[in-house]
């Protein structure tokens, strides 16, 4: 069973950079031990990154979100997040993959999908990653980064640079693993991106 709560094995890192498949941190940590630890649940990341699994789709080619069914329908709050980067969608959302993967070159800029407060930066289940709390029960997660440009507690604006794309953790190539969670439950990001 894939845990959709807070990511396990979190190790805060003030400033992290990666290159040539190794992580360089400004102080001694147990990052190496975390990366080699096995988890009893099925390992989705290992099974997902195969070339024939899902045909790649360019993010620009996706259809615009559908309009509301009724013109007079009222909604408490319509949530729309901005695309966190540019690239090709190589993995979509499904039961064992609680986000989408967007592939591009190492160093491609990653931006905050909406305004919020950074709650975590460092090494975890998605290599180097950032988690942002957007309020109203929404969090976003940006995984496999090569560099982090924000710190925990920092308030970020929608579209602000938060880091650079990479291939840290279990990754077969440079990409962003992007998740949207509502009250701890993973949502399909495609339904919430504009």
Least confident of 13-17, 43-47, 112-116, 122-126: 43-47
Q: How far apart are CA 39 and CA 96, in angstroms?
A: 14
How confident is the model at residue 58, as a pLDDT?
53
The Cβ of residue 176 has, within 10 Å, a number of other Cβ atoms equal to 28
Of 68, 105, 102, which is closest to residue 82 (Cα–Cα)? Answer: 102
pLDDT tens digits, 89-148: 999 999 899 999 999 999 999 999 999 999 999 999 999 999 999 999 999 999 999 999
Q: How far apart are CA 145 and CA 122, in angstroms?
A: 10
Superfamily classification of domain 11-26+44-60+82-191 = Glucose Permease (Domain IIA) (2.70.70.10)
Q: How far apart are CA 118 and CA 52, in angstroms?
A: 35
How confident is the model at residue 142, as a pLDDT?
98
Least confident of 15-29, 65-79, 166-180: 15-29
**Domain ranges for the chain:** 11-26+44-60+82-191
pLDDT bucket at 69, cuts 50 / 70 / 90: very low
DSSP H or E stretch at residue 46? helix 44-48
Q: Is the pLDDT of residue 62 over 60?
A: no
pTM of the prediction?
Answer: 0.64
What does the H/E/C string look like for 175-193?
EEEEEEEECCEEECHHHCE
């Amino acid at each position: 069973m894939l845990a959709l709560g807070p990511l396990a094995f979190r190790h805060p890192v003030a400033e992290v950079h990666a290159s040539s498949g190794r992580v360089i941190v400004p102080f001694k940590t147990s990052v190496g031990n975390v990366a080699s630890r096995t988890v009893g649940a099925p390992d989705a990341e290992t099974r997902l990154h195969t070339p024939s699994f899902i045909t790649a789709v360019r993010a620009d080619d996706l259809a615009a979100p559908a309009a509301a069914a009724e013109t007079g329908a009222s909604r408490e709050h319509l949530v729309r997040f901005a695309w966190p980067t540019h690239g090709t969608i190589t993995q979509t959302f499904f039961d064992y993959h609680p986000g989408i993967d967007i592939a591009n070159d190492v160093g491609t800029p990653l931006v905050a999908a909406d305004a919020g407060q950074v709650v975590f930066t460092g090494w975890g289940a998605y290599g180097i990653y950032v988690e942002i709390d957007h309020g109203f029960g929404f969090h976003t997660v940006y995984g496999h980064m090569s560099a982090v440009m924000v710190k925990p507690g920092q308030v970020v604006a929608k579209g602000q640079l938060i880091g650079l794309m990479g291939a840290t953790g279990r990754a077969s190539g440079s990409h962003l693993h992007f998740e949207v969670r509502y009250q701890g439950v993973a949502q399909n990001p495609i339904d919430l991106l504009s």
